[in-house]
Structure 1
Amino acid sequence: MPLTCLLRCNDLSRTREHYQRILGFAVSDGAESTLLVQLQDCRLTFTEQDLWGSAPGCTGTLYFALEDVQAYFDSIKDRADIAWPLQDMPYGTREFGIRDCNGYYLAFMQGQPVPD
């Protein structure tokens, strides 16, 4: 079941440019001044509206499961703000992380975490 997060952003135009040009996402306008971004079957929705009464922020990392994480890493590594490099994790995934233009941490992974 796909999940779509609604996130507050600082600037829709800047977010559009970042996700389209830097990260290679498909980008489209949504309803009521929102921006939809998609990579494979992973989606995010951004708004400039202050629906939560606070600045943009998240205390977690948003994970995107990809078919070929190595190819995606190679395509963006020289343009994106890499938070941690592509690596094999002890819990069974191959992943890397970035920090987007709004300060959100995104991780891109391949494989399934191994349950304890």
Structure 2
Amino acid sequence: MDEEILPILIAVLKTDNLLAIREVIDAIGFICFYHKLHDDYPIIDALMLCLKDHGNDDITRWKLVRSFESFNDSNVINTLMRIEQHDKQPIIRNEAHRSLRMITNRMKSGK
């Protein structure tokens, strides 16, 4: 997918359609990762707001944690660290650990 679709995907995050939200989180993370949009703050803000609004849903929270691997932002890193240490779901804690490792590796390699 081309990054031009991102505004439409972000608009879906602001709806109440949880199934659609879950799907666009994957797409946003994929696009940002492969198009190297590691510091796109409006996208980061939209995903963080989605976590605030829908973080009680385990699947949505897991997908967000996975998508966060795409960003180098300190708020994302701090959120992942908090999730890694305190989330009630071991699979989500493990995913936070993996995302943090992906971010660290990318930042070390300068990509």
Task: Normalising by structure 1, report the TM-score.
Answer: 0.26
> Which structure dedicates a bigger proportion of its chain to strand?
1
Task: Normalising by structure 2, report the TM-score.
Answer: 0.26
> Which structure dedicates a bigger proportion of its chain to helix?
2
